[in-house]
Amino acid sequence: MPLSQAPAKKALRIIPLGGLGEIGLNCMVFEYADELIVVDCGVMFSDLQMLGVDFVIPDMTYLRENKDRIAGYVITHGHEDHIGALPFAMKAHPAPIYSTRFAHKLIEAKLAEHGLDRKTEFRVFAPGDTIRFRHFSVTPVPVNHSIVESMALFIDTPLGKVVFTGDFKMDASPHYGNPMDPKPFQKAGNDGVLLLMSDSTNVERDGHSLSEKRIYHKFEQLFTETQGLTVIAVFASNVGRIGQVVEIARKLGRKVAFMGRSMEQNARLARELGYLDGLEEVLIGVDDIEKHGRDRCIVLSTGSQGEYRSGLMRVANNEHRAVKIREGDLVVMSSKFIPGNEKAIGRMINDLFRLGAEVLYEPLADIHVSGHANAGELRAMLKMTKPRFFVPVHGEYRHLVHHKKLALGANVAKGNAVIAANGDILETDGKSMAIVGHMEENRVLIEGEGGKDVSKVILKDRRKVAETGIVFSVLIRNRVSGKVMAGPDIISRGLLEETLMGDLFDKAKETVMAILDDCDAIAREREVNVQEEIRVGLRRFFQARIGKKPVVVPVLIDV
């Protein structure tokens, strides 16, 4: 199907560009006639750090080829996996960004790093506002999640209402905001919901998710009992969790220090919007911890996922200039371990234990509650909205399968519950829904502050170098006579220990000289690529001698 082809007349098209079959990379396109809106535009952090890939963004080819039809980007909340790719979208196919106040602050700061904040049109909405487009109208409805001002979206289309839950849970006692109100969802269900698209992350967990109130009481107990410095590792966007720490610190007469640039920035932005009351009474710099007494201080740190060079990682490596772990200190990992990060987190925890810290983490202690609904809440959402069609989103493939089973148990007809993959093109005319095509999913790998695209070819080369090492063969020849004036020199990295290279490299030099002699003979009859002959010959040489075919880079200089 051509990417620029519009949906069938009187058909609603939905295209997931990311977020299905995975945790992260959320980006969903809704399209009717000549108009499309984009819900969320996020990143997924890479598990390929050693190969230089920092994060992944959705392939936005479809958006680029239809940029004149994009009416806007509507953001459910401010997590990176929902807003992180917006700088790339604004560069290539800009349109107004609709979001709540806090998400707006986070997005504006992110775009400012790319010089795009003044070039972007922001439109801030409040819960219950109606965002009107030509064919769509979108009403944000508050839900509970692990970041303030999270929204579900009621998307009214010419064919009916779509309920897009975003990331949500039903918390009876959130630290900020109100418990999620079921009435708007019940009313939507009574009026008629064409399609429900619902968060699948915690579908494998039975019952109801735990409330933030549970964390408050656990933290208060820990802060009272600890005899040393307390370090809390938490997502910098979890303003509610940060607010709990600040409130308990005030209550107990403790001081709070922030560690990590994103922690400091998000706290400042939250404070500007009226969150984190009383922060100024307890806030100190990390350099002032010793002055106030280690046992009287709490450090809120980034690095809960073992991110390279994050605040907590530097502490674990004993490289932080101000925060040093001592025997009796307490480190609390108050966040979920994101799939793919377990090894890095495990190494960091081991290093913290080696320094003498007591480390609390799931499942050893109740020091984190998820921001996502368990199966009981997902079932309740299905029963409230009573959708004709159902598409599970935001989860790995097994989560989508389990969520579909929940929907079938909640009276969604078997043919009306659809598991889609990234790149699938779903269409509905209001009476039926089907996957009518598929776009090749080519996610984009990004590295560096400039956001440079890393091609699969480059990634393959990096992996090859990492696995087999690299060898350089350098020699200088006389341009006229072809006589070797210097070299060949053999230089390698990642191949063998230096003590084992002497005889091997002498033989490799002899191999290069033999190849040059052969090339001179062949050149009398036909043209020959000397560098390619050296490359192939040395790879064969090392394969025969050490059982490896390293990457070989011949450097031939004629002077």
Same domain, 375 and 420: yes
List all residues 6 or more positions away from 450 whose beta carbon is below 8 Å from its beta carbon.
none
The pLDDT score that the predictor gives to residue 49 is 57
Residue 87 lies in a domain: yes
Same domain, 378 and 322: no
Query: CA 83 → CA 26, 159, 167, 306, distances in Å?
Result: 8, 28, 13, 21
Residue where the block lists tokens 């790093």: 113
Backbone dihedral angles phi then psi of residue 119, each to the nearest 5 degrees: -95, -5
Residue 5 lies in a domain: no
Query: CA 447 → CA 58, 111, 269, 459, distances in Å?
Result: 14, 17, 27, 11
List all residues 6 or more positions away from 467 whose beta carbon is below 8 Å from its beta carbon.
none
> Annotated catalytic residue: which of 77, 320, 368, 372?
372
Position 106 pLDDT exceeds 70: yes
Position 389 pLDDT exceeds 60: yes
Q: Compute the Cα dihedral for 443, 338, 79, 141 and give only its sign.
A: positive
Same domain, 80 and 131: yes
The size of the chain, in residues, is 559
Predicted confidence (pLDDT) per residue in 448-506, tens digit: 655 666 666 677 777 778 788 898 999 898 877 778 888 788 888 888 776 667 788 88
Residue 195 lies in a domain: yes
DSSP string, 89-124: HHHHS---EEE-HHHHHHHHHHHHTTT-GGGS-EEE
Decide: helix, strand or coil at residue 402: helix
Query: Which of residues 182 and 528 earns the better pLDDT score?
Result: 182
Same domain, 302 and 251: yes
Boundary of a domain, candidates 339, 360, 381: 360
Distance CA 25, CA 114 (A): 20
Which among 447, 471, 451 is positioned nearest to 553, based on CA atoms?
A: 471
Position 108 pLDDT exceeds 70: yes
Residue 2 lies in a domain: no
Position 527 pLDDT exceeds 90: no
Decide: helix, strand or coil at residue 12: strand
Boundary of a domain, candidates 297, 326, 360: 360
Percent share of the chain, pLDDT over 90: 66
Same domain, 262 and 224: yes
Query: Which of residues 458 and 535 earns the better pLDDT score?
Result: 535
Residue 47 lies in a domain: yes
Same domain, 493 and 416: no
List all residues 6 or more positions away from 88 whose beta carbon is below 8 Å from its beta carbon.
57, 60, 444, 446, 451
Read off the tokens for 4. 């620029």
Distance CA 527, CA 184 (A): 77
pTM: 0.84
Predicted confidence band at 84 (pLDDT cuts at 50, 70, 90)?
very high
Average pLDDT in the 204-208 region?
Answer: 94
Distance CA 350, CA 343 (A): 11
Mean pLDDT of the chain: 90
The pLDDT score that the predictor gives to residue 48 is 56
- Which amino acid makes up residue 536? V
Q: Compute the Cα dihedral for 515, 516, 518, 519 and give only its sign.
A: positive
Active-site annotation holds for 372: yes
User: What is the number of domains present in the chain?
Assistant: 3
Predicted confidence band at 336 (pLDDT cuts at 50, 70, 90)?
confident
The winner for highest mean pLDDT among 163-177, 517-531, 544-558 is 163-177
Residue 3 lies in a domain: no
**Range 450-467 burial, b when 16+ CB lie within 10 A, else e:** ebeebeeebbeebeeeee
Which CATH number is 87's domain given?
3.60.15.10
The pLDDT score that the predictor gives to residue 8 is 64
Position 2 pLDDT exceeds 50: no
The pLDDT score that the predictor gives to residue 486 is 87
Query: Which of residues 230 and 24 earns the better pLDDT score?
Result: 230
Same domain, 161 and 291: no
Query: Which of residues 462 and 359 earns the better pLDDT score?
Result: 359
Residue 405 lies in a domain: yes
The pLDDT score that the predictor gives to residue 115 is 92
- Confirm if 433 and 195 have CB atoms less than 8 A apart: yes
Average pLDDT in the 41-59 region?
Answer: 75
Predicted confidence (pLDDT) per residue in 285-331, tens digit: 999 999 999 999 999 999 898 887 788 999 999 999 999 999 999 99
Position 109 pLDDT exceeds 60: yes
The pLDDT score that the predictor gives to residue 168 is 97
Boundary of a domain, candidates 313, 339, 360: 360
Predicted confidence band at 338 (pLDDT cuts at 50, 70, 90)?
confident
Distance CA 557, CA 365 (A): 64
Active-site annotation holds for 199: yes
Q: What is the domain range of residue 76? A: 12-207+370-454
Distance CA 325, CA 312 (A): 11
Same domain, 318 and 424: no
Q: What angle do CA 281, 144, 373 make, to 5 degrees?
A: 130
Q: How far apart are the first and last CA of the chain?
A: 55
Which CATH number is 497's domain given?
3.10.20.580
Distance CA 417, CA 407 (A): 7
Residue 495 lies in a domain: yes
Read off the tokens for 241. 């969790």
Predicted confidence (pLDDT) per residue in 213-272, tens digit: 889 999 999 999 988 999 999 999 999 999 999 999 999 999 999 999 999 999 999 999
**Range 41-75 burial, b when 16+ CB lie within 10 A, else e:** bbbbbbbbeebebbbbbbbbebbeebeebbbbbbb
Distance CA 555, CA 476 (A): 9
Q: Which of 11-20, 87-96, 424-433, 488-497 has the lowest mean pLDDT?
A: 488-497
Which CATH number is 244's domain given?
3.40.50.10710
The pLDDT score that the predictor gives to residue 437 is 92
Predicted confidence (pLDDT) per residue in 363-387, tens digit: 777 788 999 999 999 999 999 999 9
Same domain, 350 and 414: no
Same domain, 225 and 271: yes
Distance CA 228, CA 463 (A): 44
Same domain, 409 and 503: no
Position 1 pLDDT exceeds 50: no
DSSP string, 139-172: EEEEEB-SSSSEEEEEEEETTEEEEE--S-B--S
The pLDDT score that the predictor gives to residue 408 is 97
Same domain, 40 and 161: yes
> Annotated catalytic residue: which of 167, 199, 351, 424?
199
Q: Which of 15-19, 28-32, 474-478 has the lowest mean pLDDT?
A: 474-478
